Amino acid sequence: MNSPLSASSRTPQDPAAENLKHQREAIAALGHELRLLVDATVRTEASPETTQRLADGVRALTGQLIGRRRSPADIPEVDEFPGGVRMYSPVTGPGSPMAPPMRVAPYEGGVVGRCLLGIAHEGPPGYGHGGISAMLLDELMGWACAAAGRPGMTISLQTRYRGPVPLETPLRVRAHVTATDDRKIYTKGSIATEEAPSTVLVEADGIFVAPDPDVARALFPILDNAQ
């Protein structure tokens, strides 16, 4: 489920579509390698000398990426907004070393996200950080809003932690819209393992608001440029 809001009208033969695919594949490949690096970094028991040498090597690599850079308000050319592909999302972004990354698909009137958490996402030893669980749920409930045609921003997120979320275990995150009231969108979400999907480990209630159009244009100038 790449884009809950807009299907691309480009055909696979379209050079622009081919170029976009190529760019996204390269970004995902770098993201994948960086996630392996992050995992290796938080697991390593290497000597201080080795660790220092690696820090120097990574600094040299970072130097190669510093050229033309986007500022926080810019939407990457490889993204779709609002709703859709976010290559650098900290939850779903295949290009983000922070992201598990979660893969999202439609599911029973809502959406389901599948991912594994690693040691980099650890809270209590061996289990996921509660803030990471909240982040997964917040994101997926946002996707549920977008998939229902009502993209919005979180104004309230309530999480209940019923059981610890195991690391390196396939997870199933679910979210759906329960009601709407004018610009407010009410959602529910949950996290379970793939193995025991009916044993809810974390559950959440989220309220989202579709911003007033003037507020949305002020917050996201790209909406003006797109017209």
Query: Which positions touch ligand 3IX (CB under 6 A)?
Result: 82-83, 138-139, 142-143, 146, 151-156, 182-184, 209, 211-212, 215-216
Q: Which is nearer to ligand 3IX, 102 or 167 (CB)?
A: 102
Residue nearest to ligand 3IX (CB): 142
CA distance 118 to 86: 21
- Least Å from the CB of residue 211 to ligand 3IX: 4
- Least Å from the CB of residue 210 to ligand 3IX: 6
Residues 149/5, Cβ–Cβ less than 8 Å: yes
- Least Å from the CB of residue 92 to ligand 3IX: 8
Q: Which is nearer to ligand 3IX, 88 or 143 (CB)?
A: 143
Q: Which is nearer to ligand 3IX, 146 or 165 (CB)?
A: 146
Looking at the DSSP assignment, which residues form a beta bridge with residue 191?
A: 173, 202
Q: Which is nearer to ligand 3IX, 48 or 213 (CB)?
A: 213
- Least Å from the CB of residue 53 to ligand 3IX: 38
- Least Å from the CB of residue 83 to ligand 3IX: 4
Q: Which is nearer to ligand 3IX, 129 or 164 (CB)?
A: 129
